[in-house]
Amino acid sequence: MMKRNSIFILLLWLLDFYGVSQNQNTVLPIIPKPQSCEITQGQFTLSPTTKIVVTSSSHQNEIDWLNEYLDKYYHFKLKTTAAIPKNDSYLEFVSIEGESNEDYELTIAKNQIHISAKEKSAGSFYAIQTLIQLLPLEKTTTLVIPCLKINDSPRFKWRGMHLDVSRHFFSISSIKKYIDLLALYKMNTFHWHLTDDQGWRIEIKKYPKLTDIGAYRKGTMVGPYSDQKFDSKPYGGFYTQEEIKDIVAYASKRYITIVPEIEMPGHSVAAVAAYPWLSCIGKQIDVEKGWGVFEDVFCTKDSTFQFLENVLDEVMNLFPGKYIHIGGDECPKTRWKTCKTCQARIKTENLKNEHELQSYFITRIEKHVNSKGKQIIGWDEILEGGLAPNAAVMSWRGTEGGIEAAKQKHQVVMTPGSHCYFDHYQSAPNGEPLAIGGYTPLEKVYAFEPIPTELNTEEQNYILGAQANIWTEYILNEKHVEYMAMPRMAALAEVLWTPKDKKNETDFLNRLQTHFLLLDKLEINYAKALYKVEQKITPSSKPNTVELELIANASLGSIRYTSDGSMPNPKSEKYQSSINLDKDMTISSALFKDNQLKGKISSRYYEINKATNKPITLKNEPSKSYNYGGSFTLVNGVVAKLPRDNNEWLGWSGKDIEVIVNLEKVQEISSLQIGFLNEELNWIYLPKSVEFLVSIDGINYTSIKKLLPEDFQFERFAKLSFQAKTVKYVKIIAQNFGKIPSGKTGAGEDSWLFSDEIQIK
């Protein structure tokens, strides 16, 4: 035993001697990746005898943080001392003069750790976060850390995460856990969406009904929006001002600023339910049970402004940060158009229209907020009708609003739906919990660049940073919030902290996988969508055959698959190159590493028939937004499923579908089928009629039959079986439903026609 130990020590010494310390090839699991990190010789051992050298009281917060962490996960704490210990290893905080509050230097040598940052700044706290990420994950009392020198500083000032607590309510302890998660990744802004149509969540002393009435609804929408189903369980909750003070202090210890959002003039049903006189018509309404955009918004009468100013005064007293978010998005102008007071306001203020009235609204609120020494920030609709003079803009409908605001010399926070909406799906919808829609996988978040190329160097300075939003219509509890946030937030943290030229996706994924173990330890429920295996279909050169490609990140494992309906295991066939599918079958695939299943198994059923991979022509092109995979989508062997995955459908707005399938040789057929989508709330209607025609020469067509929606199978498949006919071409004409009827969502607009998969047998 003794002998083996000596050999081992000798070996370590030799490795050290030759400068090939085991750490040199190690990927340090630090997220976000520091600006610079140099691994040096040797290791530091943190143990219960390690001391913290304290020369002033200014680092108590960081010391407490580290000790609480060590105590919770390793069951020991470090003692403090005023002088540098002679025999023990130690950690010392050094105060330096610096420009930024967020910079730090962390030097780990064999017996000493030095953390240098500005006095009482976030920098020392961030150094502790880095140190924590370097600790081994196993529970032991001797924690070995590689020696290194890190110089670190963030790329952006605004590194934010938002949380909607109106659609679903989250307890104080959930909010604290969320804030801790932000802190771990050096995020510094928590945008707290406190009010919306479905619930007012902040106590306002002057207006108690806001929470007595506005914080509760009589039920909640359940399932997908298109179902319009509701339960009748009372639902609600709010935060008292005392609780808010507690949260603000909690966040402040983690160097996180909370930006409270009080929505106006739209998304204000909960407030109007509490005080109906706030709206134009004064009608008593209920707090909303369902999701959407609603017409009862704040009126522009003086008393409403007085109310909002009083509310904001209480809010500004609670939140010490510079910014107050006043919403500003999605405000229908319906009520204003017929309201005497609002129309008189337009006249007396010399406004052109209701858009300018919205601008008047925001500008008037801005004046009040500015008078208290604070700034407003609002969603990009506040650009419409003219931006209030000092307002900052949160660009969510793409980056265009942000670009325009920066050009007008206004501060901007980027949060485009395409990359920063974490309520979107992170892998194919059929393997994920129900979400609002969209597709924002981890890789897309990591690739996000907050500075648009449209801005010149001076304009770029107005981009404060970015944030991700977590809207909670379909997110019911803390675990689900974590699942949507992680690991996408880690990717965004790196986008916002790490210098652009130091970012590298493979390297990030490598570090992230170590973080998964840390997150397990912290009991954070993260998604494993990065291990997804995508099944991608392309046309094959062979007739009635499609080519299936299985796509995954090769650095994360190898793909194994089955085609007999069984579940793949580590011994299943290894995927090498694309597979030809020429008959009906189920392909199940998954990623494996070290004989372990990573992520989930994805299965898909392929239906191969006479139409599969045949040339097709479309008279009208589908809309650009709903044309993934082009016309081949209609004959690719995959029948689109519900809920809708946009990659499986083609969509036309206001147009008929007229499609010809060329079977390439004359043959007998006896059945025809095509599928449609019925989602009236999303403006998608079944066709008025579907006509099937056949031809031998491609010039003269004979109609077989016209079907009406009431003939459809499962209410969405137009299917026809008939005595065998000899044909070469099949034409299908699906007539668009036309304008959306009055009384329905989107009344008067063109309806959409969505279709997928033509089957000919």
280 binds, among ligand ACM, Zn ion, none (CB under 5 to 8 A by kind): Zn ion
**DSSP-H helix ranges across 387-477:** 400-407, 417-420, 442-446, 457-460
Minimum gap (Å) between residue 404 Cβ and Zn ion: 28
341 binds, among Zn ion, ligand ACM, none (CB under 5 to 8 A by kind): Zn ion
Catalytic-labelled residue, pool 16, 313, 330, 432: 330
**DSSP-H helix ranges across 169-229:** 172-184, 209-212
Q: Look up residue 654 and give its two tokens.
A: 């206001």
Cα 733 to Cα 619: distance, rounded to the nearest angstrom: 10
Half-sphere exposure of 487 (CA within 13 A, CB side): 25
- CB nearer to ligand ACM: pick between 122 and 468: 468
- CB nearer to ligand ACM: pick between 59 and 424: 424
Q: Is 441 exposed, middle or buried (0-12, 13-18, 19+ CB in 10 A)?
A: buried
Q: 207, 239, 379, 508: which one contacts ligand ACM (CB under 6 A)?
A: 379
Among 181-189, 342-350, 593-601, 646-654, the segment contacting Zn ion (CB under 5 A): 342-350
Minimum gap (Å) between residue 349 Cβ and Zn ion: 13
**Among candidate residues 637, 633, 649, 711, the one with its CA nearest the CA of residue 682:** 649
Q: Look up residue 381 and give its two tokens.
A: 């609709």
Minimum gap (Å) between residue 356 Cβ and Zn ion: 15
Q: Is 384 in the site for ligand ACM (CB under 6 A)?
A: no
Minimum gap (Å) between residue 541 Cβ and ligand ACM: 45
**Amino acid letter, 236:** G
Minimum gap (Å) between residue 342 Cβ and Zn ion: 4
Q: Look up residue 146 and give its two tokens.
A: 């590689």
User: Which residue bears the tokens 């052109």?
Assistant: 352
Are 200 and 219 a contacting pair, CB within 8 Å?
no
481 binds, among ligand ACM, Zn ion, none (CB under 5 to 8 A by kind): none
Minimum gap (Å) between residue 267 Cβ and ligand ACM: 8
454 binds, among ligand ACM, Zn ion, none (CB under 5 to 8 A by kind): none
422 binds, among ligand ACM, Zn ion, none (CB under 5 to 8 A by kind): none
**Amino acid letter, 214:** G
- CB nearer to ligand ACM: pick between 421 and 754: 421
Minimum gap (Å) between residue 404 Cβ and ligand ACM: 16
DSSP state of 139: -
- Residues 10, 16, 17: CA angle, nearest 5 degrees: 85
Q: 92, 243, 295, 329: which one contacts ligand ACM (CB under 6 A)?
A: 329
- CB nearer to ligand ACM: pick between 330 and 711: 330
Residue 267 a catalytic site member: yes
Cα 78 to Cα 92: distance, rounded to the nearest angstrom: 12
Q: 165, 299, 581, 635: which one contacts Zn ion (CB under 5 A)?
A: 299
Cα 589 to Cα 573: distance, rounded to the nearest angstrom: 10
Minimum gap (Å) between residue 336 Cβ and Zn ion: 6
Cα 32 to Cα 354: distance, rounded to the nearest angstrom: 44
- CB nearer to ligand ACM: pick between 378 and 599: 378
* Four-residue CA torsion sign, 29, 30, 33, 39: negative
Q: How many residues bind Zn ion (CB under 5 A)?
A: 5
330 binds, among ligand ACM, Zn ion, none (CB under 5 to 8 A by kind): ligand ACM
- CB nearer to ligand ACM: pick between 191 and 716: 191
- CB nearer to ligand ACM: pick between 309 and 330: 330
- CB nearer to ligand ACM: pick between 125 and 421: 421
246 binds, among Zn ion, ligand ACM, none (CB under 5 to 8 A by kind): none
Are 542 and 513 a contacting pair, CB within 8 Å?
no
Q: 330, 400, 443, 505: which one contacts ligand ACM (CB under 6 A)?
A: 330
- CB nearer to Zn ion: pick between 273 and 727: 273
Minimum gap (Å) between residue 298 Cβ and Zn ion: 8
Q: Which residue is nearest to ligand ACM (CB)?
A: 329
- CB nearer to Zn ion: pick between 339 and 548: 339
Q: How many CB atoms lie within 10 A of CB 6?
A: 10
**Amino acid letter, 399:** T
329 binds, among Zn ion, ligand ACM, none (CB under 5 to 8 A by kind): ligand ACM
Cα 145 to Cα 96: distance, rounded to the nearest angstrom: 24
Minimum gap (Å) between residue 191 Cβ and ligand ACM: 11
- CB nearer to Zn ion: pick between 190 and 360: 360
Cα 389 to Cα 405: distance, rounded to the nearest angstrom: 11
384 binds, among Zn ion, ligand ACM, none (CB under 5 to 8 A by kind): none
Q: How many residues bind ligand ACM (CB under 6 A)?
A: 4
Q: 251, 342, 468, 512: which one contacts Zn ion (CB under 5 A)?
A: 342
- CB nearer to ligand ACM: pick between 113 and 420: 420
Q: Is 656 in the site for ligand ACM (CB under 6 A)?
A: no
Which residues sit opposite 90 in a β-bridge?
51, 112
Cα 309 to Cα 364: distance, rounded to the nearest angstrom: 10
DSSP state of 290: S
**Among candidate residues 190, 170, 183, 179, the one with its CA nearest the CA of residue 239:** 170
Residue 709: which residues within 8 A CB-CB, separation 6 or more?
686, 687, 688, 715
**What mask, x for binding Zn ion by CB under 5 A, covers residues 300 to 339?**
---------------------------------------x
Catalytic-labelled residue, pool 196, 423, 478, 680: 196
Helix (H, G, I), strand (E, B) or coil at 489: helix
Q: Look up residue 60 and give its two tokens.
A: 């108590």
Q: 221, 280, 287, 486: which one contacts Zn ion (CB under 5 A)?
A: 280
> Residue 739, Cα to own-chain centre: how many angstroms?
33
Q: Is 396 in the site for ligand ACM (CB under 6 A)?
A: yes
- CB nearer to Zn ion: pick between 333 and 419: 333
> What are 414-417's contacts with CB under 8 Å, separation 24+?
414/450, 414/463, 414/465, 414/466, 414/467, 415/160, 415/162, 415/466, 415/467, 415/468, 415/469
Minimum gap (Å) between residue 308 Cβ and Zn ion: 14
Catalytic-labelled residue, pool 59, 193, 267, 419: 267
Minimum gap (Å) between residue 327 Cβ and Zn ion: 17
187 binds, among Zn ion, ligand ACM, none (CB under 5 to 8 A by kind): none
101 binds, among Zn ion, ligand ACM, none (CB under 5 to 8 A by kind): none
Residue 261 a catalytic site member: no
342 binds, among ligand ACM, Zn ion, none (CB under 5 to 8 A by kind): Zn ion
Q: Look up residue 227 and give its two tokens.
A: 């179902």
Among 21-29, 56-64, 210-218, 275-283, the segment contacting Zn ion (CB under 5 A): 275-283
396 binds, among ligand ACM, Zn ion, none (CB under 5 to 8 A by kind): ligand ACM
Q: Rounded to the nearest 10 degrees, how much is the dihedral formed by the CA atoms of 629, 633, 638, 640? A: 90
Minimum gap (Å) between residue 469 Cβ and ligand ACM: 6
Residue 196 a catalytic site member: yes
User: Which residue bears the tokens 């109609």?
Assistant: 703
Residue 634: which residues within 8 A CB-CB, separation 6 or more?
616, 650, 659, 674, 755, 756, 757, 758
Q: How far is CA 288 from CA 273, 295, 573, 709, in A?
A: 9, 12, 52, 33
19-58: contacts with ligand ACM (CB under 6 A): none
Cα 172 to Cα 249: distance, rounded to the nearest angstrom: 13
Report DSSP letters for 477-488, one per residue: SHHHHHHHHTTH
> What phi and psi values does residue 309 have, to the nearest 5 degrees?
-65, -40
Interface ranges with Zn ion (CB under 5 A): 280, 299, 339, 341-342
Binding site for ligand ACM (CB under 6 A): 329-330, 379, 396
Which residues are identified as catalytic? 196, 267, 330
